[in-house]
Structure 1
Amino acid sequence: MHLGVEKHTGTIFDGMNNPDMPVRPQPPVSQCHLILAEADWTKMPEGLHQNPHRWVFREDSFDPVTRIRRGRVYQSYGNAQPDSVVVYRDPSDAVLGREVHPTSHTRVQMFRYVAATALLVVPNKAYGMPFVVGSGQGVSIYTIVQIESLLTGDVMVTLKQRSALGVIPELNEAAVVEGSLKAVRLAIERAVNSALRETAVSVVDQCRNADLPPPAVPAMRKSGLKVT
């Protein structure tokens, strides 16, 4: 499956062999970046026009309660960006399948992408690896929990957002005593999930009942988390 982003308007196109069909409704599309090594944190996407050869993420769904985001990942198609592509003027049933003709087709400049099959050959299918969506100063960090190859050839990824969506401050993991990080993460995860799904009383109970080793508590306080 191919994806195209029109150079001047940002209109999204897709198609099996060419990105010649405008997508309705228009989906959210962002640049994205897989973190394979520590050095990759310094190589964040800068924007479509600054570097059009970066991977892009097309969102299909997002659940703020579970913090699960699903979408398709594409890699740059060829070396020429943008590229000239013939597209349908009107993707109605009356014109679908017609041969290229000035009355039904037009040529546009677009940034062109194809399914990111490179993601399928990453060791261990990239499970558990950090995955960045966005560019410049506006990025979100996720963890890859699943990768699927669809019938259309698209590569679908399921992501779990690392951020607590403002429910609690971000944890300063460097301040956590060695050996306590796993317990701290689990306690925070339970508290955040409770805040998004349950009542205030349940949130208080989760925080009170956090089964943390003693060294972990000062570290959480140092991170800005209130622990009693």
Structure 2
Amino acid sequence: MREYDGYDGLVFKEESFDPITRVKRGTVYSLEESQPKQWWVQDSARKDIEYHANVGWAAQSLFATSYRIHPLTQLRGITKLPQVTLGSKPHTSLWKIIAIETQFDGKPLLTLKSIRSLGVIPNINFEQYSSDAQAKLKTALESVEMAANRFVPLDTVDRCRDALSIVFGDLAGNLTLDLGQGIKKYIEKNKTASPNRDGQDLISKNGDIVRSLHARGKPNESHKNNTRPVDEEDASLALNCLWFVLTELDDRYAR
């Protein structure tokens, strides 16, 4: 919907929010047409609003922009509900529509769930990493959180790849390795410890998923393999893979 004089065409008014499930509920308001409208008010405290006399009465007159509750009728017949962007650039967040309920007064209540959130990065013990890797990893994870909440899906995948490059590089004792090389060194180390196995485990496989998603985001690779563009689900997958690797390694360190 169009904007009028800097006012957003649609506004979401939050009525409840659960920080654990990252679910919020609220009402959508739409900008009324023919803005601004003239309103007659009685507010003696507002000396800046002029009085205008009429036949038998006098009142203050002002022009204001107004909103009304949006019925959301166009969403009720859609099989796949769209994603919702809340906030103003560059500080926006992405949400998935879970449900649209009609309350007793007829007002539609919208239920949203965060697609990508700050809670995706687990609290880990950085002491398990080398002193050189600790500062780099903290900075990389901050970049992951920023990308997950503000930027496009491909940026989130790339920042997850950067963080995992540090993790696997540190495991290999060489922070200059890229993610693919780090995973390869990790697998070789596992094979040395257990010669009868192929060296793969869930840590290496989750790291490799992020590596593959990063490669898919390159235009030449996408054209060569005829793959679809990286989307929100891919970004969520990359975040989950990063979470798994960090959590598994943290659990090993705690034993």
Coarse TM-score class (shorter-chain normalised) = 0.3 to 0.5
Normalising by structure 2, we get a TM-score of 0.42
Structure showing greater radius of gyration is 2
Q: Which has the higher helix share?
A: 2
Greater relative contact order structure (CA < 8 Å, 6+ sep): 1
Normalising by structure 1, we get a TM-score of 0.46
